């Protein structure tokens, strides 16, 4: 299917209903690298549309063959209907709330869906079925789209560029979350303490700090974690996996954050600036340790004597005097 562009894509009511939220993007609003993209699967089309949707939020333009400009792009993302578009399926799934519009009910839970395909994908969350396997690393996925997203980790392809900065992303959802860095949007609020988050997953992980729930258990030791990402990072301490490689010197790291911090040793970047004095630091922890010099706080206490220290490293060095010496 050639997205070059609107005129070549057949739009029957049935196919139109499968497309999420917005209809066809206006190619003039897309970057040149995104025009004329060839896609072969429906899910790839959906991913492309999510990317167009994120551009819509930046430009305030309706990226649709059916609508012109809109004053409130958020309203468009919630419901996309227009008298100019006569196709029956041209509306937002998220706005489909009634059971009549969601005729496919899950027999295992109370959820219902607008299409049989959505129901089939959902049922795999109950059965644990993962029929789509990566040919390079044998990982399995419940959806074909998730497999394609994963394969980009192997190929290095990042088809979703940020229109504000130079970053590119494997997944359209990653781009959406990243764009909140530029907008400052934090739409997910904790009902317990009112803290707001840019990502729904971050909110769920935060809420477990209130409930004490640690639902992610390590199969190799007794530890459990609030978040799935914390468990993944912990598991690498058992496997020794270091999937994040520095492009400057070839060193590998178990966590993407560690790679980012290391990369600053090459670039000289020091993004964490002290609000009291002109010093800046490459790591947040070093800034915190430095700030304790201004406040006089010594948060790191030795459990064996009464001494306390500004930094964790100073405490570790001090604790060596308590360790028994080997002859």
3-state secondary structure the chain: CECCCHHHCCCCHHHHHHCCCCCCCCHHHCCHHHCCCECCCHHHHHHHHHHHHHHHHHHCECCCCCCCECCCHHHHHHCCCCCCCCCCCCCCHHHCCCHHHCCEECCCCCCEECCHHHHHHHHHHHHCCCCEECCCCCCEECCHHHHHHHHHHHHCCCCEECCCCCCEECCHHHHHHHHHHHHCCCCEECCCCCCEECCHHHHHHHHHHHHCCCCEECCCCCCEECCHHHHHHHHHHHHCCCCEECCCCCCEECCHHHHHHHHHHHHCCCCEECCCCCCEECCHHHHHHHHHHHHCCCCEECCCCCCEECCHHHHHHHHCCCCCCCC
pLDDT of 177 > 50? The answer is: yes
pLDDT at position 100 is: 64
Could you tell me the fold of the domain covering 244-319? Double Stranded RNA Binding Domain (3.30.160)
pLDDT of 236 > 90? The answer is: yes
pLDDT tens per residue across span 13-31? 333 333 333 333 444 444 4
pLDDT at position 28 is: 42
pLDDT of 322 > 50? The answer is: yes
pLDDT at position 327 is: 61
Contact partners, residue 310, CB within 8 Å, separation at least 6: 289, 292, 293, 297, 298, 299, 300
pLDDT at position 257 is: 87
309, 297 Cβ separation under 8 angstroms:
no
pLDDT at position 175 is: 92
**Interatomic CA distance for residues 164 and 39, integer angstroms:** 25
pLDDT of 41 > 70? The answer is: no
Could you tell me the fold of the domain covering 132-237? Double Stranded RNA Binding Domain (3.30.160)
pLDDT tens per residue across span 279-313? 999 888 888 888 888 988 888 899 999 899 888 88
* Percent of the chain's residues with pLDDT above 70: 69
* Percent of the chain's residues with pLDDT above 90: 31
Token readout for 281 is 């630091």
The torsion angles phi and psi of 273, rounded to 5 degrees, stand at -105, 140
Choice among 59-63, 105-109, 209-213 with the minimum mean pLDDT: 59-63
pLDDT mean across residues, the chain: 74
Average pLDDT over residues 220-230: 88
Average pLDDT over residues 270-286: 90
Task: Kindly list the domain boundaries of the chain, sorted by start residue.
Answer: 99-127, 132-237, 244-319
Could you tell me the fold of the domain covering 99-127? Double Stranded RNA Binding Domain (3.30.160)
Task: With CA atoms as reference, report the closest residue to 89 among 18, 26, 25.
Answer: 18
Q: How many CB atoms lie within 10 A of CB 327?
A: 2
Token readout for 188 is 């997910």
pLDDT at position 23 is: 38
Average pLDDT over residues 209-225: 90
pLDDT of 118 > 50? The answer is: yes
Q: Could you identify the residue written with the tokens 């947040």?
A: 284
66 CB burial (10 A radius; 0-12, 13-18, 19+): buried
The torsion angles phi and psi of 160, rounded to 5 degrees, stand at -115, 95
């Amino acid at each position: 299917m050639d997205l070059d562009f609107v005129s070549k894509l057949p739009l029957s009511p049935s196919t139109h209903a499968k497309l999420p939220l917005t209809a066809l993007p206006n190619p003039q609003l897309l970057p040149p690298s995104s025009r004329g993209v060839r896609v072969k699967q429906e899910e790839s089309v959906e991913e492309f549309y999510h990317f167009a949707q994120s551009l819509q939020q930046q430009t305030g333009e309706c990226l649709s063959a059916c609508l012109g400009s809109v004053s409130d792009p958020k309203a468009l993302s919630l419901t996309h209907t227009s008298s100019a578009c006569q196709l029956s399926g041209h509306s937002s799934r998220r706005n489909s709330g009634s059971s009549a519009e969601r005729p496919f009910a899950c027999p295992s839970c109370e959820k219902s869906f607008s299409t049989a395909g959505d129901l089939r994908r959902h049922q795999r969350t109950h059965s644990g079925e993962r029929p789509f396997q990566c040919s390079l690393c044998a990982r399995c996925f419940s959806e074909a789209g998730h497999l394609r997203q994963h394969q980009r980790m192997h190929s290095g392809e990042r088809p979703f560029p940020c229109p504000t900065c130079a970053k590119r992303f494997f997944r359209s959802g990653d781009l959406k979350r990243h764009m909140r860095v530029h907008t400052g949007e934090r739409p997910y609020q904790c009902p317990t303490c009112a803290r707001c988050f840019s990502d729904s997953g971050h909110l769920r992980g935060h809420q477990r700090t209130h409930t004490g729930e640690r639902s992610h258990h390590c199969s190799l030791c007794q530890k459990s974690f609030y978040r799935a990402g914390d468990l993944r990072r912990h598991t690498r301490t058992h496997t020794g996996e270091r999937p994040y490689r520095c492009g400057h010197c070839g060193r590998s790291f178990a966590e993407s954050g560690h790679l980012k911090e290391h990369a600053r040793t090459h670039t000289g970047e020091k993004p964490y600036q002290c609000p009291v004095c002109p010093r800046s630091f490459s790591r947040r922890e070093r800034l915190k340790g430095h700030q304790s010099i201004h406040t006089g706080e010594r948060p790191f206490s030795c459990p064996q004597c009464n001494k306390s220290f500004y930094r964790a490293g100073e405490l570790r060095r001090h604790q060596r005097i308590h360790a028994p010496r080997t002859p």
